[in-house]
Structure 1
Amino acid sequence: MDLTPRTLRTGAKTGLSVDSLLAAALMAEILSPSRELWLVSPWITDVRVIDNRHGSFDALFGDTPPHAWRLSDALLRAAGAGSDVYVVARPDSHNEPFLRRLEAARLDDTLHVRRDADVHEKTLCGQEWLLTGSMNYTVRGMSRNDEAIIYKVGGPDAGQARLDLAQRWRSGS
């Protein structure tokens, strides 16, 4: 396996977006959940992450496939599939609708929401992969702003990131 990280520069100037990369990572988590899935971003909204308008993922979604899944849908599905999902964001009114939607699911054993006023890191990390860089998980971060996102599969980076994130946020509230 090639362990070379991929750097994706997204935004209006490059014409590239993170949509398909993010959708693939989240679909993989739903099909084969990591023991832990971490999403750390100071600003998060319930952005659309999986586009199913053409029915490409109908088999995964079941009898009533949605046209799209939002970030909260994917995280809740991963938690329901057995992954311990950790979400860390700033305690800000911008983030609250998203964070409250996750908390309302009452998956306290598998879904852990943390608020940290000092968080600035932007990372989504599963068992064997890592997506990190300058992008917040918001409409502007994912589709408008110029961002640099690094995607790594395999190697020690995902494991080290999970250890670092757990040390900072797993035990705290």
Structure 2
Amino acid sequence: MNDERIVRTSGNTGVRIDGILATVLLAELMTPSRHLWLVSPWIGDVDVIDNRAAAYDSVFVDPSSRVYTFAEVLAHITHGGGRLSVVTRPDSYNDVFVNRLLRQAAPTRAQVVQAEDVHEKTLCGDDWLMTGSMNFTYRGMSVNDEIVSYRVDPAMASTARIDFARRFDNAG
């Protein structure tokens, strides 16, 4: 099965990626990928799942009616059995996200690799990937004009994960 959705986001038009990203992360919380990869030069601890109406209580182990951040959700995925690799630039902007993630993630289930020249922007699971021009930051997700492709394609996702492992595993 190869399904793809391309979204052109813009602060001017109000088209955002939030819904697709939240759906992807909710699916990962329920059934974590064996190895989830997040590759982005800049990553902010942005709000990703709004549970203020308690709509997603069944997905969280210890739910609360609030907004969950990117680092929190990724850490929850590691506690659910998923392995997480994050590749980002060694930049102070990323420190809040990285520190929160590593503090909350399951020990030995998350690694952060800092790569000075990384420019790719991809979130990739077992059988899907989200890739494009968008950094995982407030501006990338809410302000800037961006293009993001979400694709369900196990072969393409596998190729991406193999490439990431070759380039970044044990590099951090």
CA contact (8 A) 2:41 2:120 kept: yes
Residue 105 (1) aligns with residue 104 (2):
yes
State the 1:65 CA deviation. Answer: 1.4
Aligned position for 2:69: 70
Render the CA deviation track for 1:50-91: whole Å, top value 9, x for unaligned.
011222112223554141110001110111111110011100
Aligned position for 1:37: 36
- Tell me the amino acid that sits aligned with residue 51 of structure 1: D
State the 1:162 CA deviation. Answer: 0.5
Residue 133 (1) aligns with residue 99 (2):
no
CA contact (8 A) 2:129 2:151 kept: yes
Quick one: structure 1 residues 69 and 167, their matched pair in 2 at CA, closer, same or farther if it must change by over 3 Å? same
For residue 156 of structure 1, give the secondary structure of its aligned residue in structure 2: helix
Quick one: structure 1 residues 106 and 144, their matched pair in 2 at CA, closer, same or farther if it must change by over 3 Å? closer
Aligned position for 1:49: 48
CA contact (8 A) 2:29 2:60 kept: no
Quick one: structure 1 residues 63 and 43, their matched pair in 2 at CA, closer, same or farther if it must change by over 3 Å? closer
Whole-Å separation in 2 of the counterparts to 1:112 and 1:148? 27
In structure 1, list runs of 5 or more residues that go unmatched. none
Whole-Å separation in 2 of the counterparts to 1:55 and 1:4? 30
Identity %: 45
Whole-Å separation in 2 of the counterparts to 1:66 and 1:160? 38
- Tell me the amino acid that sits aligned with residue 81 of structure 2: G
CA contact (8 A) 2:29 2:59 kept: no
Aligned pairs for 1:92-171 (under 5 A) are 92-105=91-104, 107-171=106-170
Aligned position for 1:23: 22
More divergent stretch after superposition (60-69 vs 45-54): 60-69
Aligned position for 2:8: 9
- Tell me the amino acid that sits aligned with residue 76 of structure 2: R
Whole-Å separation in 2 of the counterparts to 1:95 and 1:142? 15
Quick one: structure 1 residues 32 and 48, their matched pair in 2 at CA, closer, same or farther if it must change by over 3 Å? same
In structure 2, list runs of 5 or more residues that go unmatched. none
- Tell me which stretches of 4 or more aligned residues in structure 1 moved more than 4 Å: none
CA contact (8 A) 2:78 2:105 kept: no
Quick one: structure 1 residues 54 and 83, their matched pair in 2 at CA, closer, same or farther if it must change by over 3 Å? same
Whole-Å separation in 1 of the counterparts to 2:167 and 2:89? 14
State the 1:108 CA deviation. Answer: 3.8
For residue 59 of structure 2, give the secondary structure of its aligned residue in structure 1: helix
Whole-Å separation in 2 of the counterparts to 1:123 and 1:54? 30
Quick one: structure 1 residues 74 and 167, their matched pair in 2 at CA, closer, same or farther if it must change by over 3 Å? same
State the 1:12 CA deviation. Answer: 2.2
State the 1:106 CA deviation. Answer: 6.1
- Tell me the amino acid that sits aligned with residue 19 of structure 2: S
